[in-house]
Amino acid sequence: MFYHIKELQYNARPDRPDPVYAKKLQEILGGQYGEMSVMIQYLFQGWNCRGEKKYRDMLLDIGTEEIAHVEMLATMIAQLLDGAPVEEQEAAAKDPIILAAMGGMNPQHAIVGGLGARPDDSQGYPWNARYTIASGNMLADFRANLNAETQGRLQAVRLYEMTDDPGVRDMLSFLIARDHMHQLQWIAAISELEEKEGLVVPSTFNQQYEKQEVSHSFMNFSKGTESAEGKWASGATPDGKAQFEYIENPEAMGQIPELAPAPTHMHGTPPPGKLPPKNL
Amino acid sequence: MFYHIKELQYNARPDRPDPVYAKKLQEILGGQYGEMSVMIQYLFQGWNCRGEKKYRDMLLDIGTEEIAHVEMLATMIAQLLDGAPVEEQEAAAKDPIILAAMGGMNPQHAIVGGLGARPDDSQGYPWNARYTIASGNMLADFRANLNAETQGRLQAVRLYEMTDDPGVRDMLSFLIARDHMHQLQWIAAISELEEKEGLVVPSTFNQQYEKQEVSHSFMNFSKGTESAEGKWASGATPDGKAQFEYIENPEAMGQIPELAPAPTHMHGTPPPGKLPPKNL
Amino acid sequence: MFYHIKELQYNARPDRPDPVYAKKLQEILGGQYGEMSVMIQYLFQGWNCRGEKKYRDMLLDIGTEEIAHVEMLATMIAQLLDGAPVEEQEAAAKDPIILAAMGGMNPQHAIVGGLGARPDDSQGYPWNARYTIASGNMLADFRANLNAETQGRLQAVRLYEMTDDPGVRDMLSFLIARDHMHQLQWIAAISELEEKEGLVVPSTFNQQYEKQEVSHSFMNFSKGTESAEGKWASGATPDGKAQFEYIENPEAMGQIPELAPAPTHMHGTPPPGKLPPKNL
Amino acid sequence: MFYHIKELQYNARPDRPDPVYAKKLQEILGGQYGEMSVMIQYLFQGWNCRGEKKYRDMLLDIGTEEIAHVEMLATMIAQLLDGAPVEEQEAAAKDPIILAAMGGMNPQHAIVGGLGARPDDSQGYPWNARYTIASGNMLADFRANLNAETQGRLQAVRLYEMTDDPGVRDMLSFLIARDHMHQLQWIAAISELEEKEGLVVPSTFNQQYEKQEVSHSFMNFSKGTESAEGKWASGATPDGKAQFEYIENPEAMGQIPELAPAPTHMHGTPPPGKLPPKNL
Amino acid sequence: MFYHIKELQYNARPDRPDPVYAKKLQEILGGQYGEMSVMIQYLFQGWNCRGEKKYRDMLLDIGTEEIAHVEMLATMIAQLLDGAPVEEQEAAAKDPIILAAMGGMNPQHAIVGGLGARPDDSQGYPWNARYTIASGNMLADFRANLNAETQGRLQAVRLYEMTDDPGVRDMLSFLIARDHMHQLQWIAAISELEEKEGLVVPSTFNQQYEKQEVSHSFMNFSKGTESAEGKWASGATPDGKAQFEYIENPEAMGQIPELAPAPTHMHGTPPPGKLPPKNL
Amino acid sequence: MFYHIKELQYNARPDRPDPVYAKKLQEILGGQYGEMSVMIQYLFQGWNCRGEKKYRDMLLDIGTEEIAHVEMLATMIAQLLDGAPVEEQEAAAKDPIILAAMGGMNPQHAIVGGLGARPDDSQGYPWNARYTIASGNMLADFRANLNAETQGRLQAVRLYEMTDDPGVRDMLSFLIARDHMHQLQWIAAISELEEKEGLVVPSTFNQQYEKQEVSHSFMNFSKGTESAEGKWASGATPDGKAQFEYIENPEAMGQIPELAPAPTHMHGTPPPGKLPPKNL
């Protein structure tokens, strides 16, 4: 169960309206790697957690924090929309600065939202649940979480560079710091699990059942071997259990597919030689 | 530019048809973490790569391999659909085994696909490009890639457990081994970049501009402190630069939001006291 | 079955082209609360209607009218796109007014639609059927319809404020009037059913089977009790059957969840103490 | 900002696993009218609220409660999935009861979620933000909310009828009671606003600007006049300001559309008589 | 403007309920190539039509007919759902035939639709407007229409094979005949335009501006030349203007891409040699 | 299996950056009729092909070429984004030309993609698999392919008109020529199959089972008979087997639908006369 308090986790107050920037800021609210994504992802991982209690508690703590981040962003966006040019004005239609602002706005901010934030990304595409994952395997999911915080901080930093509004930057400096923490947090949690389980997920699958001769081979599917120059192509594997192998000219190991004809009631293309019963 | 050869990368031949399993197998073809996702993700990361040539080449090598994985899965699914019960048959309607098979099938496999694979997941939801990311920051993207291979191998292993068809298992044993390799590959590539750049992405953002007092704090947004028990809540941070701090009772640091009324031409709720001009 | 006549229900003729406004106007054609939504919603409610004939007939009458509204909007948009700046022109590239117009247009209006309307919203997001509902319970659905006409008129009014084109405003004045009528219509239809059935939908569920002690309680999940000041928090309930109760400090009534570990073939996180069979 | 407590708002404990029912129950978690929809809708309405404080507080109180409802449903679904038949078992393949259970399950519950709930509906379609509305006009939005609680309770009642598991029914009896309360709450809040503003939203639009001669007319777009029999077709309008009028044979009031040819650089169909410059 | 009449265009009456078949039949109502698709596609092509009046009239005639087809399918599906097993019944839970029926149903038919048709496909995926095209070029669009009627009739025929219900087959025999007509209709309309404009769309683009040396070449991007055996690889082109050429070993004609580094404020991967300003 | 070579199929080098045009060019990369669509469509048609080997080989040859087209477009877009105005700059904020460029850009090109191409269309809507079809009937699918190449070339030509950048036009001249070839190719392949099978797909359905009296009738669902003037309304049908018939006043041939009431556990609207058991 949840409680709300009226104060924001951190200040969200722009120095001046900026409806064009409001459109951009939607990306880290309702985009693929926005705060809604981590909020839903952490909450579902917590609710579905079948592991130790400390994991469930931790996931729900951080998921609960993310709701507060969505709240901060929504509040900021609503204020950036104050003073948006959303009324017919003869003068405006001739001022290219206002015109550009109108063209750069998200029209739904006015028409649909009445100058409010929306659970969408910077293109107006609605947030959807396929952005998230809760797999029941915590090492798998913590890697998803590290990825989300990494992309999320990258986007927040880019948005920081796109404004000079001190109030917006102040709020972003907080979110960027939290993403910093959350990256470190997932790295720590991952290392705790990798120490127990090893690096390859899922650790519980008996590796004798996989085709082990290709478990450490980098396959070069192109002319030229620049791809041989990285740590992924030679030397010890990160788990220290094998050596990477570089296969310069990987050969096909499978059959040439030949599919059986479909049964007649499927009405696919008739096999050659078989006249279609055109007017039977 | 690309070339095709007719042989599959590895065999894809089931021992017997199984249209219910065909539906499930779609998950790792066209699902959120299916082969289409890694194929498109690696190709776009490669095409957009502004870094060293070895990264571009490596990304396109592995992206090219993933097209072959999609090909293997599509071929397998088409064969699993041979013999699907897709015709009206009086007898069938009374055989609960056939009935269950019909109910468990993806109806589009017959009606739309004519017994062919589809670029969809196990629920018939179409693959879409928001499953993928190419951010221009390779450390960020390699973490996304590690996540994708981790979830992908987990799903392939689960599908392995759900069948005893030796031909299907043989193909999966190959894909599982390649996902094994690809997890190790991304871990190696990540460590190469982390050694140069440090752990926190993006490394190029001047950390003086973030709210550094919350960059290492775990905040406990619940009653009870089970979440304090992990490596993420105390001790040195993974980059060795600081100590994690556990904040048992995090306080709000922000304002209570108060938004200005919307301008009248937005036709929001009229402010209290202001009578609406009902019939002006 | 349906017939078409060539005249529009009402005039749809702009005084001048305005491709930027054409983009905005798409919202009430193909948006969440656009005319396509009410058209499909009313038609499906009518076709699925298992109630009295007058409801089916009324739903299909109004659904049929909405097709004509989509027709008017599409016709208007096509004309607003006449004269759109969609050709490479050296001069244009230096005129900020033309530039802004190009930036504010929906690029698909030209590239995909050849200067025609599209079944999309003002962000270019395609209309989809999850915007609509036909539940088989008419009181439920008439509330959905009242909601749709309410949001729809609000958006049409906002669009009215965003233009001074007399032809566009003339058409909108008609649509706004019809939305006015349709709000009143659904309010009348709702009151007819509420008189028979009561206020709470579905009326046919035996209320003894619900947890009646929480059927009239407003729960305050925050510090501060501003939420106690409305008609929803005290006094008689609208059906006159009870008094609202304000619970200032709602307590949890449920268990602390503890989920069983997943079976091993699910390959979730191994329970603590259980070493993963890394290389069995 | 938000806090979490570990207890559920109400019990969520099934008496026995039922993976087929788990699939169905997803509808009120992540469907169009599921708990995620009201959670996001109320939170965004609250965060965007530019009206009196009591509305903001009330919206955030109820939005916060809905997070707890999502939590209860997720917890219930995870437990219903305990014991799901997700492993290859020779015996199972011949037992039609188990087969039917496998066919009736959501395959992603096992393959993707590892026996956890998903933010999707009963068809596996992901929740998305276009299910929600926050328009900045509270009367409009409260009608949306009443609609959501109405459809939501209807669906919960149907799901109640589809199970005899006492634990599941106990949880549903709580959710059904809360939906009961929430219907009454929105009706009360709506009446409070309608008393001030009148019935037609937005109340602030000057009705002189709408085509008032069609503001009270029901138009019969079909042969037969069953649609004349309801309260929407004759008598006083609900606001007492006019009489409904029934137009048995509504006439078109608009032009026959004729669009100008597209400019040549649009490459539409060439006008008749104009030879295409096939090989110029 | 449109009118409705109460009779269906053709009978839609099943001999017996069949909720599992109802799910399948949704494909040609709300699927990618269902009747909703052609209805919206033809209507928008008609409304956007800038060509001769006969085209506009024809498009709107056939679009209007398609609304009647949606109506027939919706009516049929509602009747197929009569008697669906949607109530908890102890006995049912042990009858594998009923169980299979429950598992094979679309759960939303009951929970959401109250035994009514839905604007979705056979997987419950909602119809969306990206299924349709109205390009402003009639020859282009008539090809889209021929495609739609072709896929549509194929799916209707497959559904015909999947049932033996005489009432369902009677309705399908009508729809199949209309799809027959509509295929012929578009072929006729296409040939009328091709005679005037030629085969290659758009006909109005000056072919001197295209890279004409590759305008008639089939490129073989694989080992093996089976692809040389068709009419597309040698002989005269269908417009009689050239000969097809078969290029057995197509060579790359373009550059090896090298992208410039991103500007620093994009925070991509730092170029090699450039130390990231980790703690500047 | 596939191989990659580092050279592009054709040059993709703009003369100057143009981020606004980059947004538009996305349409033919990731739009409904972009290169991703034909790539996935041809590959799946090839992989699912149950017909003669020459068809499979041909489909995979052309599908493989399309991957190279996606590659060219992605490379072009990344270069058009060089020099995009994505940094806060005081001066810029006052220059309407720069402002317009910022407003006309796709914000995700910077925030999410770090100046890289995205698998989306010109509105930022993600590519999805429902754009494609592989039906198992080759004549059906070749018509889909002709449609795709037709719309694709039309869009490429429109984009050609919207730029004067010689490098962009050079690349487009290549893609336009390939679309030219691919239209001719599908026309040739279609005629090869039509000669064998006849015009109406599927050819294998016994036409005695369709309602043959409406197989050649154009039905005029409007006042006015302009639609009688085309080749589709009179004269011989294209297959020479019949004459088109023009039905000026088509009559309904079906029943007036009447649906049975829903069972009580569905909680639809109670039938008239039946009092709802409000408080039983």
Helix boundaries (H) for D82-223? 96-104, 107-111, 138-161, 166-197
Yes or no, beta carbons of F135 and B114 under 8 Å apart: yes
Distance from CA of F62 to the nearest CA of B (A): 10
Distance from CA of D144 to the nearest CA of A (A): 13
Yes or no, beta carbons of F176 and E256 under 8 Å apart: no
Omega within 30 of 0 (cis) for the link into D17: no
Distance from CA of D150 to the nearest CA of C (A): 6
Q: Which of A33, A45, A147 should we substitute to test contact with B (largest number of B Cβ atoms within 10 Å)?
A: A147
For residue A126, which of A19, A25, A32 has the smallest C-alpha distance? A32
Cβ-proximal residues to D273 (8 Å cutoff; 6+ apart), any chain = none
pLDDT value of position E280:
45
Evaluate if residue E159 carries a pLDDT over 80: yes
pLDDT value of position C280:
44
For residue F201, which of A80, C107, E155 has the smallest C-alpha distance? E155
Predicted confidence (pLDDT) per residue in C166-195, tens digit:
999 999 999 999 999 999 999 999 999 999
Measured CA to CA, the distance from residue D254 to residue F169 in angstroms comes to 44
For residue E11, which of E170, E162, E180, E178 has the smallest C-alpha distance? E170
Yes or no, beta carbons of C96 and A96 under 8 Å apart: yes
CA distances from F240 to B120, E186, F212, F235, F247 (A): 40, 15, 16, 9, 20
Chains that touch D (3 or more CB pairs under 8 A): A, B, C, E, F
pLDDT band, very low/low/confident/very high, at A280 (cuts 50, 70, 90): very low
Evaluate if residue C234 carries a pLDDT over 60: yes
Q: Which residues of F touch E86 (CB under 8 A)?
A: 263, 265-266
Measured CA to CA, the distance from residue B196 to residue E278 in angstroms comes to 10
**Closest chain D residue to F269, measured at CA:** D154
Q: Which residues of A touch B115 (CB under 8 A)?
A: 262, 266, 268
DSSP state of D227: G
Measured CA to CA, the distance from residue F99 to residue B86 in angstroms comes to 59
Angle at A113 between CA A100 and CA A6, to 5 degrees: 115
pLDDT value of position A279:
47
Beta strand pairing status for E2-4 and C2-4?
antiparallel
Cβ-proximal residues to B190 (8 Å cutoff; 6+ apart), any chain = B139, B142, B143, B146
Other C-beta atoms lying within 10 Å of the C-beta of residue A149:
27
Other C-beta atoms lying within 10 Å of the C-beta of residue B15:
14
Distance from CA of B225 to the nearest CA of C (A): 15
Q: How many helices (H) does chain D have, and how many strands (E)?
A: 7, 3
Cβ-proximal residues to C192 (8 Å cutoff; 6+ apart), any chain = D230, D231
DSSP SS3 for C140: helix
Q: Which of F99, F278, F280 should we substitute to test contact with C (largest number of C Cβ atoms within 10 Å)?
A: F278
pLDDT value of position A275:
60
pLDDT value of position B93:
66
- CA within 13 Å, CB half, A36: 29
Q: Which of B55, B111, B194, B200 should we substitute to test contact with E (largest number of E Cβ atoms within 10 Å)?
A: B111
Measured CA to CA, the distance from residue B228 to residue F123 in angstroms comes to 45
By the 10 Å C-beta count (0-12 exposed, 13-18 middle, 19+ buried), F108 is classed as buried
Distance from CA of C128 to the nearest CA of A (A): 12
Yes or no, beta carbons of A54 and B230 under 8 Å apart: yes
Yes or no, beta carbons of E272 and B51 under 8 Å apart: yes
Measured CA to CA, the distance from residue E135 to residue C114 in angstroms comes to 5
Query: At B135, phi and psi to the nearest 5?
Result: -100, -10
- Percentage of chain E beyond pLDDT 70 is 96
Which member of D23, D24, D280 has the closest CB to residue E206?
A: D280
Chains that touch F (3 or more CB pairs under 8 A): A, B, C, D, E
- Give chain F's mean pLDDT: 94
pLDDT value of position E272:
78
User: How many residues would you count in chain D?
Assistant: 280
Domain boundaries, chain B: 19-197, 210-247
pLDDT value of position B275:
60
Yes or no, beta carbons of B108 and E96 under 8 Å apart: no
Contact predicate C101/C56, CB 8 Å: no
Measured CA to CA, the distance from residue E188 to residue F237 in angstroms comes to 7
Instruction: Report chain C residues touching chain B, CB-CB < 8 A.
Output: 154, 157-158, 161, 265-267
Evaluate if residue D245 carries a pLDDT over 80: yes
Distance from CA of E164 to the nearest CA of D (A): 23
Evaluate if residue E104 carries a pLDDT over 50: yes
Mean pLDDT of A232-260: 96
Measured CA to CA, the distance from residue E28 to residue E36 in angstroms comes to 8
Chains that touch E (3 or more CB pairs under 8 A): A, B, C, D, F
Instruction: Report chain F residues touching chain D, CB-CB < 8 A.
Output: 154, 157-158, 161, 265-267
Q: What is the distance, to the nearest Å, from the Cα of residue F32 to the centroid of all Cα atoms in its chain?
A: 4
Mean pLDDT of E47-64: 97
pLDDT value of position B279:
47
Contact predicate A129/D120, CB 8 Å: yes
Q: Which residues of B touch D45 (CB under 8 A)?
A: none
Least confident of A4-13, C83-92, D168-177: C83-92
Which member of A68, A113, A137 has the closest CB to residue D1?
A: A68
Distance from CA of C208 to the nearest CA of F (A): 7
pLDDT value of position B71:
98
Q: What is the distance, to the nearest Å, from the Cα of residue F183 to the centroid of all Cα atoms in its chain?
A: 14
Contact predicate F203/E245, CB 8 Å: no
Q: Which residues of D touch E123 (CB under 8 A)?
A: 123
pLDDT value of position C95:
81
Yes or no, beta carbons of E112 and C128 under 8 Å apart: no
pLDDT value of position B91:
65
CA distances from D18 to A8, C185, C262, D86 (A): 41, 44, 15, 13
Which member of C74, C117, C126 has the closest CB to residue E130?
A: C126
Torsion of the alpha carbons at A207, A211, A215 and A217, rounded to the nearest 10: 170
pLDDT band, very low/low/confident/very high, at A101 (cuts 50, 70, 90): confident
Chains that touch A (3 or more CB pairs under 8 A): B, C, D, E, F
pLDDT value of position E101:
79
Measured CA to CA, the distance from residue D233 to residue D217 in angstroms comes to 8
pLDDT band, very low/low/confident/very high, at C204 (cuts 50, 70, 90): very high
Yes or no, beta carbons of D126 and A129 under 8 Å apart: yes
Which member of A3, A30, A75 has the closest CB to residue D47?
A: A75
Evaluate if residue A277 carries a pLDDT over 60: no
Evaluate if residue E103 carries a pLDDT over 60: yes
Which member of F86, F202, F207 has the closest CB to residue A162?
A: F86
Q: Which residues of A touch B56 (CB under 8 A)?
A: 226
Q: Could you list the mean pLDDT of each consecutive 10-residue stretch along chain F, which spans 280 residues? A: 97 96 97 98 98 96 98 98 84 75 90 98 98 98 98 98 97 98 98 96 96 97 94 96 97 96 93 62
Query: At B217, phi and psi to the nearest 5?
Result: -110, 125
Which member of C6, C90, C137 has the closest CB to residue F164?
A: C90
Predicted confidence (pLDDT) per residue in B143-188, tens digit:
999 999 999 999 999 999 999 999 999 999 999 999 999 999 999 9
For residue D140, which of F75, B167, B267 has the smallest C-alpha distance? B267
Q: Which of C204, C212, C215 should we substitute to test contact with F (largest number of F Cβ atoms within 10 Å)?
A: C204
pLDDT value of position C93:
67
Q: Which residues of B touch A131 (CB under 8 A)?
A: 130
Distance from CA of F16 to the nearest CA of A (A): 23
User: How many residues would you count in chain F?
Assistant: 280
Distance from CA of E223 to the nearest CA of A (A): 12
Angle at E74 between CA E72 and CA E75, to 5 degrees: 65
Least confident of B9-18, C3-12, D95-104, D233-242: D95-104
Predicted confidence (pLDDT) per residue in D40-94, tens digit:
999 999 999 999 999 999 999 999 999 999 999 999 999 999 988 888 876 666 7
Omega within 30 of 0 (cis) for the link into E202: yes
Measured CA to CA, the distance from residue D104 to residue D22 in angstroms comes to 10
Q: Which of C130, C222, C265 should we substitute to test contact with B (largest number of B Cβ atoms within 10 Å)?
A: C265
Which member of D88, D96, D204 has the closest CB to residue B164?
A: D88
pLDDT value of position A260:
95
DSSP SS3 for F202: coil
pLDDT value of position C91:
65
Q: Which two tokens stand for residue F62?
A: 């052309």
Distance from CA of E116 to the nearest CA of C (A): 5
Q: Alpha-carbon torsion A92, A96, A99, A100, what sign? A: negative
Yes or no, beta carbons of B198 and E278 under 8 Å apart: yes
Tokens 């027709």 belong to residue: C71
Yes or no, beta carbons of D117 and A3 under 8 Å apart: no
Q: Which residue has the higher pLDDT, B91 or A121?
A: A121
Q: How is domain D19-197 classified at the architecture level of CATH?
A: Up-down Bundle (1.20)
DSSP state of D252: P
Q: Which residues of B touch D47 (CB under 8 A)?
A: 257
Yes or no, beta carbons of E188 and F230 under 8 Å apart: yes
pLDDT value of position D264:
93
Q: Which residues of F touch E215 (CB under 8 A)?
A: 177-178, 180-181
